[in-house]
Amino acid sequence: MATSSQLSQFVGEPLSDLTQYRSIVGALQYVTLTRPDVAFVVNKVYQFLQVPTDEHWGVVKRIQRYLKGTIDSGLFFSTQSSDTLTTYSDADWAGCPDNRHSTGGYGIFLGSHLISWSAKKQPTIARSSMKAEFRALAYATIELLWLNSLLSDLGVKLKSPPVLYCDSIGARYLAAHPIFWACTKHIEVDFHFLRDLIVKKCLIVRFLPTQDQLADIFTKPLLS
């Protein structure tokens, strides 16, 4: 999927045979369990299972060619790693041309090893990029807490509180300063648990420049 591609349900001719498209895209969903580099684009083509077009089918075939050319690529886990959890969270804003939903994504590292990732369309429409990023932070935090609990059950004690990086100054500021929440009440209340975790020092949220944002791969297509 080239960076210029923007899939829409209104572009292209509907496929006459839906079975092959659905079968291959379903298989690609399993591929994303070990290939985070295709998580974003597979999520995109999955959104058109009901009425796929020849444009969507063309992207599916490009994914297959990419995977064939990178068949030796995969995740690497060494025995040497630090006991720290680091998360990178990102979101586009109104990236879907059909309904203007945003896509959020995250990657969670144990030491230097990527152990969890996600690229999904957000269920509600964000009225600003800050709010899209804030929702992405909240979703990443949910997974981060679960992994933290799992590691604790396995007897792995973290050396420091998990760190969550985002490239939105506004989203980070909103999480840390509740005085601004009055103007953002339409953001679901459930997401404000993020603030409680910060106050209790269970989580650290930090800003990093966009060029260093590793979660970009979950919200934008790979370079063509």
Domain contains 162: yes
Check whether residue 57 and residue 113 sit in a common domain.
Answer: no
Q: What is the pLDDT of residue 14?
A: 94
Q: Angle at Cα 222 formed by Cα 101 and Cα 41, nearest 5°?
A: 45
Residue ranges of the chain whose pLDDT lies below 70: 1-5, 177-191, 222-224
Q: Which residue in this structure is represented by tokens 């990732």?
A: 117
Please report the pLDDT score of residue 190 as a whole number: 57
pLDDT on residue 162: 94
Residue 158 is part of a domain; what is its CATH number?
3.30.420.10
Q: Model's pTM, two decimal places?
A: 0.89
Can you give the residue range of the structural domain that contains 199? Answer: 85-218
**Are 27 and 119 in a shared domain?**
no
Residue 31 CB contacts under 8 Å (≥ 6 apart), including other chains:
38, 42, 67
Classify residue 9: in a domain, yes or no. Answer: no
Q: How many domains does the chain have?
A: 2
Residue 96, domain member (yes or no): yes
Q: Can you give the pLDDT at residue 157?
A: 86
Which residue, among 181, 175, 166, 92, has the nearest Cα to 129 in the 3D structure? Answer: 92
Same domain as 164, residue 129: yes
Domain final residue, candidates 39, 69, 99: 69
Looking at residue 200, what is its pLDDT? 86
What is the per-residue pLDDT for 3? 43
pLDDT of the residue at 174? 77
- Please count the residues of the chain: 224
Q: Is residue 40 in some structural domain? A: yes
The verdict on residue 2 lying in a domain is no
Phi, psi of 201 (to 5 degrees): 60, 30
